[in-house]
Structure 1
Amino acid sequence: MTEQYLTVTALTKYIKRKFDTDPHLNRVFVRGEISNFKRHSRGHMYLTIKDDQTRVQSVMFAGNNRSLKFNPENGMKVLITGNIGVFEPYGQYQLYIQQMEPDGIGALYLAFEQLKGKLAKQGYFDQDHKKNIPVYPQHIGIITSPTGAAVRDIITTIKRRYPIVNLTVIPALVQGVNAADSIVNGIEQANDHTDFDLLIIGRGGGSIEELWSFNEEKVAQAIFQSEVPIISAVGHETDTTISDFVSDLRAPTPTSAAELAVPSQIELKEKLLQINRSQTRLITNMLHTSSQQLGRLNQSYAFRYPEQLVNQKEQELDKLVERLNKALQFTVKKKDDALLNNKKRLISHHPERQIQSAKKQIIHVQKQLQSRISLITEKKSTQMVTFIDKLTLLNPLEIMKRGYAIPYDQKGNIIKSGLQTSKNELIEVKLLNEVLACRIEDIKEDATDE
């Protein structure tokens, strides 16, 4: 009966597994107020998240809180992304925080996460859809505000690194209500002109509200559908937008986008010099090797005494021809012998010979069969004569031929004893060819029986 009772440890482990396998608890979004905040010496954060009616113990490990852009404090309202689990030693559930931000931007952040999840499921972020960035672009379109610092940084960096490329600024709003439509129009305009082989879209840093146009679904669709490769360069290195995920390449800053878009002419010149030195060294080595080979050939026996070499080769050729003839003769003879043997074997196995042999065997078997039949017939005939003789001896008619007769009473029964009849009784006596009607006058005992 005690087997039905669980230990506390077993019960806690069971509940923990239930929490860990529940998909609704693996990723939760919680809004609440921080209390009992404590930062451990190892970097972990321990706190309580509460509202007006309840509270939950929470922890944010150092690996997750390093990316926080603010310092959590007691009384601060926050938006939290994490999962629910069970802390086994105390048998209590708690919230494991993965991401946290002030509640002031929580709505935008939630919208960002929802759109990010939706587009991820639709394959917008898959590497299979990423287009290759050209190594040596010829014409780059820059979709951004023509008056911002970002466009100046991009143009300056590109002209310094790769001055031969053509640049075209496609003006677009990068902030405000109409910014998303303006960016989409810029991308579509660039795709309508087939001379662009690379696009850079972006702007300088700002708040999440200021950067929100690059988180719009219509902008993500335009980037995804663009036939021209796109580099996204929005904000600073810590800023991340939907455009960064959808684009073919993400640059942390506009200046970095310019560096990723074009090669450095200094690096190209150095690479060309290295190639030139490598090719020169390779050609020099090839010429040196060829010169040595030519020198060895020039000093070789073939070049110094060509007539003797030809005569030697002629003799070798004669020997080879002689060996070839002998080999051919031997091969032909061997094939002829094999052909003769096969012919003999074929003759010995000719169907006509086999038929004749089979006929002889049949005649022999027929003779044996006839002999056996004759012997069996003679034996059976002798046996039959013997049986006939025996049957003849047992035949009543044969006995009657010797003068014997058979008496019958009126009912047709054979009379075997005088006790079967009486005086004056009529009987029939069967002879060989006649039947006598008789009357019994007297019954006497046979004296010979004594």
Structure 2
Amino acid sequence: MDDMHPTYLPGYLETSSVVSVSELALYLKELMEANDILQNIWVHGEVSNCKIYASGHCYFTLKEGEAQLPCVFFKYSRLRSDAPELRNGMALAVNGRVAFYERDGKLQFYVDAVKPLGEGVLFQRFEQLKARLAAEGLFDAERKRPLPPQPAIIGIVTSLQAAALRDMLRVLRTRYPLAQVLIAPSLVQGTEAPASIATALDLLNEHGEADVIIVGRGGGSIEELWAFNEEVVARAIARSRIPVISAVGHETDFTIADFVADYRASTPTAAATAAVPNIDDWRVEVQDKAHDLTLLMQDRIEDLRTQLEHAQRDLQRVSPLKLVDQRRQQLDDTMERLQTQMEHLISLKQERLRGVSLQLHSLSPLLTIARGYAIVRRDETQEVVTSIQQVQPEDTLTIQVQDGHIPVRVRSSQQ
């Protein structure tokens, strides 16, 4: 066999053969499926990066220390096992099977059932710091300052490589190109990130020209966002003389920074939207004002036109032309009445003529003929013969029937 040709034997791979990626992936998949321990095992850890999609399937990472395990909890398994709602920071024991997902080339744990074990370490740290800072009043609504309505300079604390920075700059440039942006670069992830974020906030305050500060980053797991849950960041936001907008992660992510900040935005893009007015709204407002001014001018012109019409009517009332118009109107009315009377008279005459015509028609001998009778006339005098006394032998007569005339000659008459 050619050594360069891929070779795959189910359950066995020769070390000397060159195999394709799909063959290796299939081998790993079957290797795990053949292990009974991996097909029904309980694993415990802390939930992170938990997401539930519209399909109802839940994807999360189970972590312990530096180790992590991607997990999939399908909708039908969640409903069947009556599982509680999962969230980041929850300590959990999960039952299921380990498999190799060929498409993504990664090992995954397919969950069949879950058992809550309380809160994880990170969540406990979060709640403890949150309670302590809340007791100090750092979350009180009274200490939160309103955002400036028209900031000239916007300060941003985030990573220069972050996609969130590009999104914020795009929104600021589109909504309010009049403002300037002052960036204080910082780390947003890792052990050195909290101190870096606090230093950048202090630097913007020392600079003193920013009207509002946006601090944040895009979405990630609870570990990736943890820098914004550290006390040093919370203290830096609290002591800022400049209003601070917190924009960390996605809409469902909440950090300590969100509670301390003067304004919490669901995303960095939403933060940029909240920080500045929309210049398009100003354009609309100017257009509305122009429209209102146009309406006022039109109303004034309409008032003047109404006054002019009143003056014209006053002149018309005293004008001799009005009397001429009245006489013309009277003449038109008289002509109209005369025409109506003539039409009525003609209609009466027509009805009377129609009645006479019907009466003559009813007396017409043609109707008698139509019923099967005949009319006999003497040809010589055209008189109607109604008696044998009126004719003599050899007289010529004409008999009129419905569809024509019959000429006859009298040979004799009998009573």
TM-score (norm 2): 0.46
Question: Per residue, is there more helix in 1 or in 2?
Answer: 1
> Radius of gyration: which is bigger?
1
TM-score (norm 1): 0.43
